[in-house]
């Protein structure tokens, strides 16, 4: 061990409290060996936020925002850790740009607020937060020589559990579901153990953006989704889904009677045609579909701009797929 590391070394026996919720935070720790339980008392109930192992960092929020500790850290096994003082951390922090220093402070405050309140989030909200924070962790990791992001599984699970105030079993389950959904892969590496691999980091970034926007729009903090996930009218996605199915059933023909569309919408969504009229009119005005009267007969719809229609269909399928992924993660 180098001289500076020897000076920073701290040892704690099993059961020792390293720091308590509410203590003044003067330092952070890097766990070199052993396990540490991070917990918080909510009402009369002790909630274990995470159990972390070798390589984990804890206690960092208090020295970033200079507020008391937001949780209790206790050694569950004999622990060897390096203790980094606020002064040493501040010296290193001064080496990064000012905007990043401010970012660290904002993130610490938001994470503290999340820890301080007892979670009332729905399972879907927890899944969205999981993806958003996982994407942040991925972005802090340099890609390997194949442009993949490789994260140590156990450390990543423990970090997410700590930041979200969710038990590690739930985080582990969501990570496994990401692998099942083929958004990530799992492998084992010598000396590291199990790892989580993103072969296409842009896909997890897109999913994270969708999750963040869903959360913010639902909470009234964002007026509407960004263009990749936004539709022109409230029921456009539903109409596109039904029109796509009708066209497939009819052999990909470009036109279909209004009554066929009305019947299909009623069957799928149990709503009359009038319920969708405003959205249909908007789609006609934008040229996505057209309404006409063949031979002076009953009204019919047709697709007369295949490129525009295909573009909207692809958006509809993407949003539908992302919604389903959120559901799978929250089950």
**Model confidence over 163-180: pLDDT tens digits?**
887 888 889 999 999 999
pLDDT confidence band for 265 (50 / 70 / 90):
very high
Region 3-116: CATH code: 2.60.120.10
Mean per-residue pLDDT over the chain, rounded: 85
Q: Judge whether 123-222 and 236-323 match in fold.
A: yes
How many whole angstroms separate alpha carbon 44 and alpha carbon 52? 24
Identify the residue with better confidence: 104 or 149: 149
Tell me which residue has tokens 């295949």: 306
- The predicted model scores a pTM of 0.61
At 206, phi and psi to the nearest 5? -65, -45
**Model confidence over 67-115: pLDDT tens digits?**
788 889 999 999 999 888 877 776 666 665 564 555 555 555 555 555 5
Region 236-323: CATH code: 1.10.10.10
Lowest mean per-residue pLDDT among 139-143, 144-148, 160-164, 192-196: 160-164
Region 123-222: CATH code: 1.10.10.10
How many whole angstroms separate alpha carbon 280 and alpha carbon 236? 7
What is the phi-psi region of residue 21: left when phi exceeds 0, alpha when psi lies from -120 to 50, beta otherwise? beta
Buried b (16+ CB within 10 A) or exposed e, 30-40: bbbebbbbbbb
Cβ proximity of 41 and 21 under 8 Å: yes
Domain boundaries along the sequence of the chain: 3-116, 123-222, 236-323
How would you class 13 by CB atoms within 10 Å of its CB: exposed for 0-12, middle for 13-18, buried for 19 or more?
exposed
**Model confidence over 109-137: pLDDT tens digits?**
555 555 554 445 678 888 999 999 999 99
Nearby residues of 310 by Cβ (< 8 Å), 6 or more positions away: none
Buried b (16+ CB within 10 A) or exposed e, 220-237: eeeeebeeebebebebbb
């Amino acid at each position: 061990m180098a001289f500076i590391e020897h000076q920073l070394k701290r040892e704690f026996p099993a059961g020792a409290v390293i720091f308590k919720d509410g203590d003044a935070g003067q330092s952070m720790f890097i766990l070199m060996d052993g396990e540490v339980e991070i917990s918080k008392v909510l009402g009369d109930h002790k909630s274990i936020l995470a159990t972390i192992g070798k390589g984990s960092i804890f206690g960092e929020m208090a020295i970033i925002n200079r507020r008391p500790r937001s949780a209790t850290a206790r050694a569950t096994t004999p622990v060897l850790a390096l203790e980094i003082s606020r002064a040493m951390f501040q010296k290193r922090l001064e080496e990064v740009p000012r905007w990043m220093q401010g970012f660290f402070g904002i993130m610490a405050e938001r994470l503290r607020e999340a820890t301080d309140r007892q979670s009332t989030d729905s399972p879907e909200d927890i899944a969205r937060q999981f993806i958003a924070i996982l994407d942040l962790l991925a972005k802090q990791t340099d890609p390997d020589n194949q442009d993949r992001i490789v994260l140590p599984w156990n450390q990543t699970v423990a970090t997410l559990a700590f930041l979200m105030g969710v038990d590690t079993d739930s985080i582990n389950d969501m990570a496994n579901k990401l692998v099942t959904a083929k958004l990530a892969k799992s492998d084992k590496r010598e000396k590291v153990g199990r790892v989580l691999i993103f072969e296409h980091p842009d896909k997890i970034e897109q999913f994270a953006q969708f999750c963040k926007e869903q959360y913010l729009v639902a909470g009234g903090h964002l007026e509407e989704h960004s263009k990749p996930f936004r539709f022109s009218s409230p029921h456009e996605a539903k109409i596109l889904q039904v029109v796509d199915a009708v066209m497939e059933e009819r052999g990909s023909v470009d036109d279909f009677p209004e009554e066929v569309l009305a019947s299909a919408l009623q069957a799928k969504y149990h709503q009359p045609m009038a319920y969708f009229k405003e959205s249909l009119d908007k789609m006609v005005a934008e040229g996505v579909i057209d309404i006409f009267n063949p031979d002076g007969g009953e009204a019919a719809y047709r697709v007369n701009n295949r490129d525009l229609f295909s573009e909207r269909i692809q958006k509809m399928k993407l949003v539908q797929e992302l919604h389903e992924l959120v559901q799978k993660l929250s089950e």
